[in-house]
Amino acid sequence: MAGHVHIIGGGLAGLSAAVELAGGSEQVTLYEAGPACGGRARSYHDRHLDCRIDNGNHLLLSGNPAVYRYLGLIGAQDTLVGPKRPVFPFIDLADRLRWTLDLSRGRVPLWVLSKRRRVPGMRLAELRGLLALMEATPDMVVADCLPSGSLSRRLLEPFAISVLNTMPDTGSAALLGAVVKESLARGGRNCLPRFPAIGLSESFVDPALAHLDVLRAQVRTGSRVSAVEFTRGGPVTALLLGAERIEIGPEDTVIMAVPAPVASGLLAELPGFSAPDAFEAILNVHFLLPSAPVLTGGLAQARFIGVVGGISEWVFAKDRILSVTVSAANRYAGRDLDELAPLIWNEVRAAIDPAATAPLPVEVPPLRIVREKRATFAATPAQDRLRPGTQTMVPNLLLAGDWTATGLPATIEGAIRSGAAAARAVHARKGTPGRPG
């Protein structure tokens, strides 16, 4: 018998595993506790704003191989958009200085030789920070690698905060270095900014669910797994969903693709299990404008801008929505959100107004604040050591999620890679071929 694969969790890790496995010899069922799949990468209709928004902002890169493989499998590779060049507009609020980082398309970093294309005020000697990150040992933090100067303050530190969702003085240099190796070190062709043309669900979730439906994989939303039963030293024998009991046969496999705290609760008795137990928040603020701003210059091309020296980090222009991301937001946990909102709006005005044909309203427009208290694990060296691999001590139990040992921080790319790794482990266990690479 081919067996049945039970995937617990309908975020991108679980969806990735299901997409890789559906249509093969195994029957696939995915269980999602909430009313909709997607986890931290989904869209929904906000009643207060009366429009559809993403629950968070995610800036992807053209060199994210797992993302593009996943989108290719579900027929959604054309749903990501972005500028034709690897351009990243920025503003330094302290100096009211604006520039556009314009990377070279090839591996040779010719951009560093042009004052028009590089970070203002940077010295070429500061590039040794990038080399230090790529050579960092597991115990090093980002601050250990960055020399003082404009390149660090205006690019590498903000880059570290957004990628790791952790501050540079505690964030893992090795994890950031892994991202640098797959992006900047490979040249601008791998650094083209990409984001969904419509929304996260329209790119990553809805096409996946349609794909799974065609291949007759079962997706059960509103199905919370409350317990996992397994014999000591033996396989998983049952899943409990409240009063419902699902028997797990000898040929079946369970993929645990839930967030780290949920996995820790369900697998508390599993020998050898570990998972990150410290987390960082992300704050997203969505402002609704009366009409979409008309943008010019690099901002019109990129549709986003990085912000240095403020609370905001990235501002995304999405038609009538101006959406702000604040990473590593534990530092603002004690601040009142009603106090933060006008401060952030003033930063948005400073970032957008010089590139818009008409100024934004002075008054704060209608907004929605979304605070993800446990958005990602804290990407410190100590927490990175707690990340488990795909395999567990239980022969038919596999793990997936951006918190597992993907070699990357908690990103969409890492989540999708983890699901694909779990699918490969299923095929390896059964000796069946997977989808071609």
- Which pTM value belongs to this model? 0.96
Q: How many residues appear in the chain?
A: 437
What is the rounded radius of gyration, in angstroms, for the C-alpha atoms of the chain? 22
430 membership: H or E segment, kind and range: helix 412-430
The token pair at 360 is 């934004």
Class of domain 4-34+222-277+379-430: alpha beta
The rounded distance, in Å, linking the Cα atoms of 13 and 93 is 37
Helix (H, G, I), strand (E, B) or coil at 341: helix
Q: Is the pLDDT of residue 1 over 80?
A: no
AA identity, residue 331: R
Name the token pair of 104: 């070279």
pLDDT tens column, 207-259 = 999 999 999 999 999 999 999 999 877 899 999 999 999 999 989 999 999 99
Among residues 381, 383, 434, 382, which one has the least CA distance to residue 404? Answer: 383
Q: Residue 72 to residues 10, 47, 65, 361: CA-CA distances in angstroms?
A: 19, 33, 10, 41
Q: Which long-range contacts does 298-303 make (Cβ < 8 Å, 24+ apart)?
A: 298/87, 298/89, 298/100, 298/355, 299/89, 299/352, 299/355, 300/355, 301/83, 301/84, 301/85, 301/87, 302/82, 302/83, 302/87, 302/88, 302/89, 302/100, 302/193, 303/82, 303/83, 303/195
Residue ranges of domains in the chain: 4-34+222-277+379-430, 45-82+193-199+279-377, 105-110+121-190
CA dist 263 and 87 (Å) reads 39
Name the residue among 46, 47, 48, 39 with its Cα closest to residue 15: 39
**Residue corresponding to tokens 């400073």:** 350
- The answer to whether 343 and 311 have CB atoms below 8 angstroms apart is yes
- Kindly indicate the confidence band of residue 436, based on its pLDDT and cuts at 50, 70 and 90: low
> For 35-77, how does the pLDDT look when each residue is reduced to its tens digit (9 = 90+)?
999 999 999 999 999 999 999 899 999 999 999 999 999 999 9
Is there a contact between 275 and 263 (Cβ–Cβ < 8 Å)?
Answer: yes
Q: Rounded distance, CA 52 to CA 289, Å? A: 14
pLDDT tens digit string along 13-29? 999 999 999 999 899 99
* Residue 28 DSSP one-character state: E
Closest CA to 307 of 134, 104, 159: 159
Q: The CATH number of 45-82+193-199+279-377 is which of 3.40.1360.10, 3.20.10.10, 3.90.660.10, 3.10.20.90?
A: 3.90.660.10
Residue range 353-364: mean pLDDT, rounded:
97
Rounded to whole angstroms, the Cα distance separating 383 from 234 reads 28
> pLDDT (tens digit, 9 = 90+) per residue, 113-155?
999 999 999 999 999 999 999 999 999 999 999 999 999 999 9
pLDDT at 128: 95
pLDDT of residue 437 exceeding 90: no
Give the β-pairing of 253-256 and 4-8.
parallel
